[in-house]
Each structure stands twice: as structure tokens, then as C-alpha cells.
Amino acid sequence: MNRVALAFSGGLDTTVCVSLLKEKYGYDEVIGITVNVGQPKSEFEQAKETAEELSLDLIILDARFDFANLCLDAVRANATYQGYPLGTALARPIIANAILEEAKKSKCKALAHGCTGKGNDQLRFEAVWRGSGLEIAAPIRDLALTRSWEIQYAKENNLPIKSGNDGIWSIDTNLWSRSIEGGELEDPSTIPPGSIYEWTKPPSSESKLVTIEFAEGYPVAVDGTNHSPMELIEHLNILCGNFGVGRTDVMEDRILGLKVRENYEHPAATALLNAHSALEDLVLTKEERKFKTSIDDAWAEQAYLGLIYSPFVEALNSFISSTQKRVTGSVTLDLQGGHARAVSRESPYAVHSASAASFNTSDVIDDITQADAIGVAKYHGLQERMSSAIFEAKQHTDKNDK
């Protein structure tokens, strides 16, 4: 049987792909696979309804556990891309890997997606799929299809079209983030209407303190209550979203070089990243903090590219895990005005002594006294002083020679 596994959402692109994979590519059977990474229930209902109308076999896989764990790995790596927490980029490899494993079980000859040739997702899916030995089909990209052509094709072939949101916005939702793009938002000068937001309320002067506990870099509890990774993220999305935390409006540079305008909502991600960073500031040494910034940037870049399973990321994870052994403790955030600001932090591994750092005490560490700083002060800036003195002396000599 010439069978192909299609990453299926039930939207226009993947609906059209079902017919095109048979008509243009010659596959005998198409299996639709939808992967749950925290989308709204309505999306699964839409996928089921559309699959039924297409007489398409649909398999729904639950990958929320794996995705939630990856999101918390991203917290340990302080993973942001051009100023916002990674979300969609983290989900795609999880989805692609789940589809690949199911395709192998179903003895499929090929894998297919409905991505265009202009976006990032085609690369993220195929980074996981290529090397599997299975064929890859991408009808929308391969045939250079436009949305208007797809709509006309669907009408001519009596295909069910579920546009969603009246077709105004392109929205991608998962456990970690919600992205909104398209329509008027493509114009950078357009001010986003409040209607695009679902997870976050308008920022206000209302405030709330929330305490997040970490164990070796992983968030494990909120306000004294332990949660599983998925429960913790869902809880913070609601809690922080109620205070307007986690809205981002950015001009994003895509992998292929295109610059696009993106709007995001990510309340839990924002809070957790801020809290984790504050705790690292307390327990890591100066050189660890400095070097880890480059490691974190590299991790985030690889994640944005969809290369989260690469040997490079495995090596980065080794360094990150080493630093996280002491990132245990708690951070209290003040949720107000759309921000999640760290206002206190505690850890048994704090590289800090309040008494030694205070101007009002004479406490010492390791027999070091204030007077010991005199020698350091004499050497500090020595080369700079020497350089300036030599230059001035040379200038003076040259002037007198004239």
C-alpha cells in the first residue's frame, strides 16, 4: 500500500493536501495525524469533523507530557529568541517526532505537511523527518499554491473549509504560547486590537505576589503547591495572564531571512523565565553567568531552527545541567502592569553574604578584610595609567623637540 502520513490540523492547507496527495502525488491512502501539544479542544473537534467529511483516517496523539518537559528545559536555558520566549519553535520538533514514530508503525511510505515555502515550520518538520528513509511531500510549497487558489480548489472539489477566526488571523496555540499573525497585523504600523488576545487581560495597576520554587533549575511549585510540569504551566498561564503578563509584539527574523511581524501571548513562560534568571543571578558565579549567556543564546538559536535533537544541543544541555545543580530555591514575582518582576529570591546555594556585603558591618569572608583591598586598588587600572602617562610624556617630548 502506497500510504502517506499527513500532519493534519483540519484547516484549509491540510484539507487541500489530502486531495492533492492522491491527485498530484499518486498516494493510495492518506492518514491524518494530529498531535496534542496543548491546543484548544475546539481544534481537535474541527480536525475530527473535517476528517470525517473527507473520509480520512485520523489519529490523535498526546505529546503534552514531552512538550511540557521540553518547555522546562527551555527555562533552564533561559531560551528566548529576539526578545520573546520560544513557543511554536519548541512544539514543532515534538510534533514531527510523534508523527514520524506513528508513520513507521502504520508502515507509511511517506510523510507530508501543509507548510508553505516561506515559513519556518517546513524546516523544523523536515529537520526531524529527513534521514528517516521516508519520502517527504509538501503540496503547498511544492506546487507554489496561494490561499485564494486553495479556497477555489476546495470549492470546486466540495472540500470542507474551516477557516476559524473568520480567516482574519493565523493563530497557533500550544501549552507554552499563543501566536497571532496575518491580516492587518502584517503591517508593522498597525496597532493590534485587543480582540486578538485570549490568554491575557489588559495590563492594569492591580498586583499580586507569586512565589515559584525551583529544584536544580526546574520549577516545581507555585505558592507552596507542587505541580507536574504540565499543571504548573497551565496554572501560571491563567494566574499571570489575569495580570496582563506575557504579551509580545516583535519584528521577527525568520530562518529564510524574511522579516515578519508576530504577536505572542506567553504568561507562564514569561514568569518562569524571569524567576529562573533571578535565581541564577543569586547562585551562579560571575564567570558562570557570563559564559552561560552564550550557551543559552546558542541553545535558543538551535531551538528556533528546530534542531533541538542535534548533537550540539545535547552538548549544550550537558553544560546547562552542570550549572543547574545549584539553581535550587525560590523567587517571588510581583505581577503588575503586564510585568512579572522578581522582588525576592532565596537559595541555600546563594553566592552572597548580606553581612559581608553590607556597608554597616565589619564581617569578613575567608579572613579577607577591607584593608586587603588597598593592594588590589593599587594594581587595578595600572596598565591604563601607564599607557596614559607614557603617551602624555611622549607628546610633551615631541613638542619640546620642535
Whether 66 is a known active-site residue: answer no
What is the spatial distance between Cα 370 and Cα 354, in angstroms, rounded to a whole number?
Answer: 15
Spatial neighbors of 47 by CB under 8 A, at least 6 apart, are 8, 9, 10, 32, 34, 58, 60
Distance of CA 80 to the CA centre of its chain: 6
Whether 372 is a known active-site residue: answer no
What is the spatial distance between Cα 323 and Cα 214, in angstroms, rounded to a whole number?
Answer: 14
9, 64, 76, 121: the active-site residue: 121
Whether 170 is a known active-site residue: answer yes
What is the spatial distance between Cα 152 and Cα 143, in angstroms, rounded to a whole number?
Answer: 15
Q: What is the 3-class SS of 382-394, one letter each residue?
A: HHHHHHHHHHHHH
Extended beta strands in 79-217, E state: 80-81, 84-85, 110-112, 135-137, 170-173, 178-181, 207-215
Whether 92 is a known active-site residue: answer yes
92, 178, 326, 345: the active-site residue: 92
159: left (phi over 0), alpha (psi -120 to 50) or beta: beta
9, 13, 64, 326: the active-site residue: 13
132, 170, 277, 310: the active-site residue: 170
Neighbouring C-beta atoms of residue 60, cutoff 10 Å? 14
What is the spatial distance between Cα 195 and Cα 68, in angstroms, rounded to a whole number?
Answer: 27
Which residues are marked as active site? Answer: 13, 92, 121, 170
